[in-house]
Structure 1
Amino acid sequence: MDERQIAKRIEILKIEHRDLDAAISALFEQNSTDQLQLARLKKRKLRLRDEMAFLEDQLIPDIIA
């Protein structure tokens, strides 16, 4: 992947991350008792954050000290 593709993928992941955050908030506001669904959404959100961090690290050049 080149830098442009990585940046585009990061933007897509950020949008999905925000959408998951909104879905989690909505379930909390509804006092949802579906703990399994909440756990799945939170786990997905963490995976997205990890993937974003990995991709952002690829955009930063390694500096040899």
Structure 2
Amino acid sequence: MSIIDTVKEALGSGPSAKSRPDDGSKGAYWCDDCDVRIRDVDLEGEANCPECGQEMRFEAATGRSCAC
């Protein structure tokens, strides 16, 4: 096997990282003070931090590499 074949094989394999779930999530709510993150599909009720009670900010998911 040549070096070119080895590179083609390595690049041709699928990504090893888990793909983004397709559950309708648009992003996550964050508490900047406590570093708490709750995905929008997991949130029940108002977007208040369960640790400190402050309102959490929404951050939209922007692609496959998003932490959401």
Bigger proportion of residues as strand: 2
The structure with the largest alpha-carbon Rg is: 2
Q: Which has the higher helix share?
A: 1
Q: Higher RCO, 1 or 2 (CA under 8 Å, sep at least 6)? A: 1
Instruction: State the TM-score, normalizing by the size of structure 1.
Output: 0.29
TM-score (norm 2): 0.29
